[in-house]
Amino acid sequence: MANRVFAPAKINLTLHVTGRRSDGYHLLDSLVSFAPVGDWLTVAPGDGLTLEVSGPEAAGVPDDMSNLALRAAALLAGHEGAALTLEKNLPAASGIGGGSADAAAALRGIATLSGEIPQGFLELPDLLMHRHAERILGLGADVPMCVLSHPLRARGIGERLGLVTLPDIAAVLVNPRLPVPTPAVFKALETRDNPPMPDTLPEFPDAASLIGFLARMRNDLEAPALKVEPGIRAVLDALAGQGGCGLARMSGSGATCFGLFLSEDDARAAAQALTEAHPGWWVASGVLGDCSELALPRPQ
């Protein structure tokens, strides 16, 4: 029986670069949430490992072993094989973990298809990380976060994960379809030893308190990304100018930016206005929060 698995977008609400290891990996301190916007992956029994890519953002997405989802599937597929079909809705290489989310979806789908983890098992992400943490991290620092798909704090190079409780918050995501290579962004980063977030995060009784805290924090990659691609500024300004927007910030290494709103109606209105004003931009809206149950494999 095939499984259909949701791959939610990962949003870096904060991203503090706190150092760099001798091997070149950067140390981070990031508060992460997830959006009900993402790709869909169908995992079915197959002869060997295959991947077919479709969807509105499929152009240029590889269907060979350079695709992170296929490499993730190879970790767990064993000799039985699987046929993967990826419906690509998130822009590639856009700072919202699209490829990592696809890899995490492949891991969840293969683990369920093979019977390693029972269908509908709510603790599937935790069990996957317990059994395969080192190999999953080897796919990329964002993949373990996307396996969990739960609000979390990520430290180190992404291997130190702690689940956090955050209020749901309405958001608009915007990508201007401008290429922003991550290596170029890190190369433009002037200071690599920046302060982390507070050791103990405050409690957030509501979305307003979360926005207030985030406004005092940073994305240390935003300034270098603006040097690499100044066009990101237009996205941040457009988001900040929408009615009800409490904070506009870039996610990850860009170029996707997000605006946070206290009202879902304001977020939807902002998304509609931005879509009409900038038809070439990728725009989506939704409520950021815990997507771990939404991302569980479902029989198809």
Residue of 29, 142, 220, 290 with catalytic role:
142
Q: Which amino acid is at 235?
A: V
Say if residue 94 carries a ligand binding annotation.
yes
SS (H, E, C) 8-45: EEEEECCEEEEEECCCCCEEEEEEEEEEEEEEEEEEEE
Angle at 174 between CA 169 and CA 178, to 5 degrees: 150
Say if residue 100 carries a ligand binding annotation.
yes
In 3D space, the residue among 125, 58, 121 whose CA is nearest the CA of residue 90 turns out to be 58
Assigned token pair, 192: 């690599």
Residue of 10, 29, 220, 290 with catalytic role:
10
Question: How distant, in Å, are the alpha carbons of 63, 129, 130 from that of 120?
Answer: 28, 17, 18
Say if residue 96 carries a ligand binding annotation.
yes
Let me know if 142 is a catalytic residue.
Answer: yes
Kindly state the DSSP code that residue 219 receives in the 8-state scheme. Answer: B
Rounded (10°) CA dihedral 293, 138, 282, 256? 100
- DSSP-based three-state secondary structure for 241: coil
Helix H or strand E segment including 7 = strand 3-12
Say if residue 95 carries a ligand binding annotation.
yes
Which residue carries 């989310």 as its tokens? Answer: 101
Let me know if 10 is a catalytic residue.
Answer: yes
Question: How distant, in Å, are the alpha carbons of 84, 167, 193, 212 from that of 204?
Answer: 39, 7, 27, 10
Distance spanning both ends of the chain, measured CA to CA: 7
Say if residue 101 carries a ligand binding annotation.
yes
Say if residue 284 carries a ligand binding annotation.
no
- Dihedral sign (CA 85, 88, 93, 97): negative
Say if residue 22 carries a ligand binding annotation.
no
Binding-site members for ATP are 91-101
Binding-site members are 91-101
Q: Which active-site residues does the annotation give?
A: 10, 142
